[in-house]
Chains A and B, each alone.
Chain A
Amino acid sequence: MTTTSERILKTIKESNVKPQPKWKFLVKNWLTWFMFVLALLVGALSFAVMLDIIVRHDWDIYFYLHKTFLQYLLLSLPYVWILLLVAFFGVAYYDFIHIRGWYRHRVYLVLLASIFLSVGCGLIFFFAGFGKTVDRILTRNVPFYGLVRVNKEELWNHPDEGLLEGEIIEIKNTDEFVLEDPSGKQWDVQDINTKVNSRVINKGESVEIIGGKKSGNEFVAKNIREADSEKEDEFIRKKSKQKDSSGSDSSACGQRSGCGEGDKDNGNDL
């Protein structure tokens, strides 16, 4: 036995050094694989949310905002989700290079496969509605999420440019209704057939209108579209808060009762 081996065996015995159990290494390896797959799946979910935001975005209104399509595109892209997608790809890559024997695979093939997997799963998530669900959950529960996503309310709250959104609080007749915008101002909207997407609109619905401001609080609608449910949620929540702060029943307006003439007067004052 050489001096080195003697010294090492002595240290092993004196310090009671033992080989670490096999299960520890197995768990570590599985955990790295798990983190890799998880990062890809979260990346896929980011892709689904990003796609959902892009698909649901109102791409046709840039003209009314006096912007070029490029300006509008740069204003509208979901940067946070794009960044998250890139970040999770980074995490997936980091996890991958910690998987045992990773270097035996062609890195560009693994990257391509990861992108393919993330985009594929992302599309499945998107068509299954997960993207929309995640976006809605975050909108409802994460206080600052609204600040980092494209503010649709801001986009549609330009009555002078012909864009108006809000909640229908009263149907006057077949071609006229009263709409309350997010700031609480009430508008008399004139329309030819009061239909949204070829169906009759109802009191309490949130709508987005393309048209033109006539005077004061009168607006002529050329095109009325249904606001997406997420915006409706935001609107109802905002209204509930307003009602709470004014001391009235929080559910009253959101649930359609108590949004009559008395409220209309208050709205006009605003």
Chain B
Amino acid sequence: MSLTSDEVRRIAHLARLAVDDREAEGFAAALSDIFDFVETLNAAEIEGVEPMAHPLDAEQRLRPDTVTEPDQRELFQAIAPAVENGVYLVPRVIE
């Protein structure tokens, strides 16, 4: 399986990565190689094997429904670029 430069650009955009045309071509080739490598797995016999959702064959542990986290707003906001009246500020997202 191979990936086109257009597909690379689209994926990069979805991931908010800046990729120029030259890089896109390079990534397309590199990613296609990875796909080819993974393709070899298709040769494996998987009849009757349950698909796994996680590499660990274990089940999720649950925690009791209790509030354990204290308010640490001041601590967290000390590292934020901009805050006002307790809210985090970001560049305006609607026009």
Partners in one complex: no
